[in-house]
Structure 1
């Protein structure tokens, strides 16, 4: 397990292992989000985060969800802020409780809100973290599990441009970010050219 969360009456400690060396403090906070990523991103950007369902494939449901007749779904959603995709989440969900079946499949709450609506704190396991370059941008990826009796999810999340964590709201307002900047460098937002007549 890559994240170890411990506490006692006097202290709390979260230790992370096997992370990319250039992971920032803000990125570490996002990597340990436990079903509340949408809320954290909304706080960071100070704007609403919308969920756009790309696909949701639910196995045929012949009986109510139970341990004997689990219901499964594979889905992908985009978390979108001000028209920009800030996270792509691909999930495999297993439901063995009628309560969670109703909340997730009928009421259509997203995964994080399903846990909140059911007033359950899921068990969190961080399985993998990677950083890579895709289409000229620095991606950050995490794979993790959220589990509570009756509802289990394994999720791959891709943050498609780590620059957003450095620039914040300015990143949302940029239509195109021209260069990928290495960690520790300062961003200089290109100024529009002016023509003197």
Structure 2
């Protein structure tokens, strides 16, 4: 596995292998996040991180989730800070307990908060890390799994611009005036915003 997390009575060691040699310290912290990425991003930017759903496709819920009757969901969310997307997370989640099912599907907790509500330390495996150039932006991507009792997920996270980890506040506020105009209140509409529409696979 590309990650090894070990500890003893006297030391803790986190080893991330197979990652690009140019990753910075703050990037490695984000790559090692184990269900607490929102918390780390909020700490880095000193601002709230909001989860905006893009889609969620859920298998039929004919029975409560159990080891014999798993419920799966494919989902994508944007993590947003000060109006800017700081991460795009695409996940496949498998639920095998009614508690995990209720937290994720009924109470609508995001993945990280679901794990925290379950009160368990997840098993974390970092499967792959890539750096790509898309247009003028440098992306950082990681694929990993989180597993705990009644819950497992494979997640692809894309940080769309590595400059965010270098420039911090300046990057976050870049284009703020334009976004404020875009996000100005509009007249009432009965059309549901696209990101609020959750589709269910039957």
Q: Tell me the TM-score normalized by structure 2.
A: 0.86
Q: Which residue of 2 aligns with 1:166?
A: 166
Following the alignment from structure 2 to structure 1, what is the Cα–Cα distance between the partners of residues 149 and 43? 29
Greater Rg by CA: 1
Comparing both structures, which one devotes a greater share of its residues to helix? 2
Following the alignment from structure 2 to structure 1, what is the Cα–Cα distance between the partners of residues 15 and 142? 16
Tell me the secondary structure at the aligned position of residue 89 of structure 1: strand
Following the alignment from structure 2 to structure 1, what is the Cα–Cα distance between the partners of residues 150 and 11? 31
Q: What are the ranges of 5 or more consecutive residues in structure 1 without an aligned counterpart?
A: 177-197
Following the alignment from structure 1 to structure 2, what is the Cα–Cα distance between the partners of residues 143 and 100? 22
1:36-185 equivalences under 5 Å are 36-175=36-175
Q: Which residue of 2 aligns with 1:29?
A: 29
Following the alignment from structure 2 to structure 1, what is the Cα–Cα distance between the partners of residues 153 and 65? 15
Cα RMSD of the aligned pairs, angstroms, is 0.8
Tell me the secondary structure at the aligned position of residue 75 of structure 1: strand
Following the alignment from structure 1 to structure 2, what is the Cα–Cα distance between the partners of residues 73 and 16? 29
Tell me the secondary structure at the aligned position of residue 130 of structure 1: strand
Tell me the secondary structure at the aligned position of residue 127 of structure 2: strand
Q: Tell me the TM-score normalized by structure 1.
A: 0.88
Q: Deviations over 1:40-87 (max 9, x none)?
A: 000000000000000000011111001111000000000000000000
The structure with higher relative contact order (CA 8 Å, sep 6+) is 2
Tell me the secondary structure at the aligned position of residue 43 of structure 1: helix
Task: Note the C-alpha offset of 1:22.
Answer: 0.5
Tell me the secondary structure at the aligned position of residue 21 of structure 1: coil
